[in-house]
Structure 1
Amino acid sequence: MSRIAARRRVTRLSVGGSRMERADFLAVEEPLEIRVSGRSLAVTMRTPGNDIDLAAGFLVSEGVIHRSGDLMAAIHCASDGEPNTYNVLDVALGPGVPPPDPSLQRNFTTTSACGLCGKASIEAVHTAARYTVDTDPLTIDAARLIGFPDALRAGQAVFERTGGLHAAALFDGRSGDLLVLREDVGRHNAVDKVVGWALRNDRLPARGCVLMVSGRASFELTQKALMAGIPMLAAVSAPSSLAVELAADAGLTLAGFVRGPSMVLYSRPDRVTDDVAAPPPDRTDPRAEHRARHLQEADQS
């Protein structure tokens, strides 16, 4: 099997200080060719591991499959008589599932930075979602939501060794439980691995769940959340303008800059509540008590 981290000798240099050689770990990046019934559909640059989840999530994002029964089998295979490098995955679709439309075929390799690169047309980017999220009754307290980035970071085992991977995780919005976490050099791949896990475990649509990502919230990640029926996308960094527009149109809650004690809500803020009680007034200061009583009377008027 392919490695997820590679060891290499490096030189660490401090300006005005010492120069030291040591061993370091790098996140592995290798191509994965996704085939459907023997026909090549796409090549994506990814971190090896959870490849079946990656392929399944990719096919969900492309609108090819929607439930676990749509995916019959997936197997790593050799390419053109070469030894099996585990970089080619052939997927068999379930009975009655139409093969991917030719318009979905990538014209060139998808990089780890862009999962939309190579689309045959701009129109194909706006994939029609099978699920709707605007009526999802999910609500989550802000105090719970701001704990998700720490849980995400704590689960990044490969990032701890390499410092070079993105992460995505699916949380249960009601309990706050971490359902699945995946890492990859590509943020879109990490999300596909999460969505693929959800499909294979009969969790689609992912009602009442929150998708947490370690980087920014792009249009592509927002679209992937919608294709999986996830009603909330949270990111530690900023969203793009197109991501916000798509989220607002679809009724998805998009939270950015989820760091420390705060966040910014760009769409459907009603799903995030703040039930933390205000601290009691300082009884040692009569002015504080007077201000509190004044505010209470103002609220009742």
Structure 2
Amino acid sequence: MSRVTARRKTLRISPKGVVRRPDTLAVEEPLEIRTGGRSLAVTMRTPGADIDLIHGFLFSEGVITRAEDIAIARYCAGTDANGQNTYNLLDVQLREPVEVKPRNFLTNSACGLCGKTALDEVRTRIRYPIPTEGLTVETSVLSALPGELRSRQEVFDATGGLHAAGLFTADGTALAVREDVGRHNAVDKVIGWALRENRVPAHDLVLMVSGRASFELVQKAAMAGIPVLGAVSAPSSLAVDLADETGLTLIGFLRGDSMNIYSGTHRVLMDSHGLENSDRNGHSPSRTV
């Protein structure tokens, strides 16, 4: 299997002086996904959990609805200069024929389109609507999630250059954490895990991501029926619009004991922060938690 880290020479300049030394970097390599021998997409990713990645990717794009829709997923021959298999080409055989146009995916087609068009596309693809009732999460649990996610980023510890996504229960128990150079790949990997573990629709889980919350990540969470998405950084305006549209609880700037709840506040229990005036109808509170 391909390595997830690589060593490269570097010139280190610091107040202590200048020194040449090797540095550990996160590996970034292309993964070509084929269906029935036909090229479907190429994504740049960090090798590892590729089977989860393709399950999550195909599910998020509406190609499959359950893990059983994939009959076989296997690496095809492909070698590097040393004659070693690169494991950078996966061929997927679907149990039922599906008309799939290469690279004609929502996450690409949404770029450059108006917000309403993008939101309409997601609405037509969602198979597992997020229920209004059900999962609730305490703010103390949410505050702990970034640290729980970070503590499981083994490759980030070595490289400092990877995103992460994790699926957690309402009490903060980590079920799956994946790392990747791409935020969307990390999310696809954990959603693919959930699909393979028969945890989709994931109405009882919280998705935590290490970066910002883009439209694409909200879309993937909504597709899997995940009711709560937390991010350590900011959401985009269209991400908030989509969260409102799908009924998803979107939390940004989740750092320490503070957070911004942009939609779906009714799922967040203000256990220790004293936000008595939060709107139970799901509108954002007037101040940062």
When the two structures are superposed, what TM-score results if normalisation uses the length of structure 2? 0.86
2:205 — aligned with what? Answer: 209
The residue identity in structure 2 corresponding to 1:68 is A
2:85 — aligned with what? Answer: 84
Q: 1:83: Cα distance to partner?
A: 6.3
Secondary structure at the residue paired with 1:57? helix
Task: Evaluate the alpha carbon distance shift between residue 268 and residue 147 of structure 1 in structure 2; reply closer, same or farther with a 3 A threshold.
Answer: same
Q: Deviations over 1:202-238 (max 9, x none)?
A: 1100111110000000000000001111011100000
1:268 — aligned with what? Answer: 264
The residue identity in structure 2 corresponding to 1:27 is A
- Structure with bigger gyration radius: 1
1:297 — aligned with what? Answer: none
Select which of 135, 147, 150 maps to 1:150.
Answer: 147
CA distance in 1, matches of 2:69, 2:214: 27
Give the stretch that moved more between structures: 60-69 or 164-173.
60-69
CA distance in 2, matches of 1:232, 1:54: 21
Q: Deviations over 1:127-162 (max 9, x none)?
A: 311110142411010001110000000000000000
Task: Evaluate the alpha carbon distance shift between residue 219 and residue 169 of structure 1 in structure 2; reply closer, same or farther with a 3 A threshold.
Answer: same
Secondary structure at the residue paired with 2:198? coil
Q: 1:169: Cα distance to partner?
A: 0.2
Select which of 169, 173, 180 maps to 2:176.
Answer: 180
CA distance in 1, matches of 2:7, 2:51: 25
- Runs of 4+ with deviation above 6 angstroms: 118-121
CA distance in 1, matches of 2:27, 2:174: 25
What pairs up with 1:41-80 in 2 under 5 angstroms? 41-79=40-78
Q: 1:116: Cα distance to partner?
A: 3.0
CA distance in 1, matches of 2:87, 2:253: 37
Q: In 2, are the aligned partners of 1:134 and 1:250 still within 8 Å (CA)?
A: no
The residue identity in structure 2 corresponding to 1:37 is G
Q: Which runs of 5+ in 2 are unaligned?
A: 275-289
Q: In 2, are the aligned partners of 1:76 and 1:84 still within 8 Å (CA)?
A: no
2:7 — aligned with what? Answer: 7
Q: 1:124: Cα distance to partner?
A: 7.7
The residue identity in structure 1 corresponding to 2:65 is H
Task: Evaluate the alpha carbon distance shift between residue 89 and residue 233 of structure 1 in structure 2; reply closer, same or farther with a 3 A threshold.
Answer: same
2:161 — aligned with what? Answer: 164
1:295 — aligned with what? Answer: none
When the two structures are superposed, what TM-score results if normalisation uses the length of structure 1? 0.82
Q: Which runs of 5+ in 1 are unaligned?
A: 279-301
Task: Evaluate the alpha carbon distance shift between residue 217 and residue 84 of structure 1 in structure 2; reply closer, same or farther with a 3 A threshold.
Answer: same
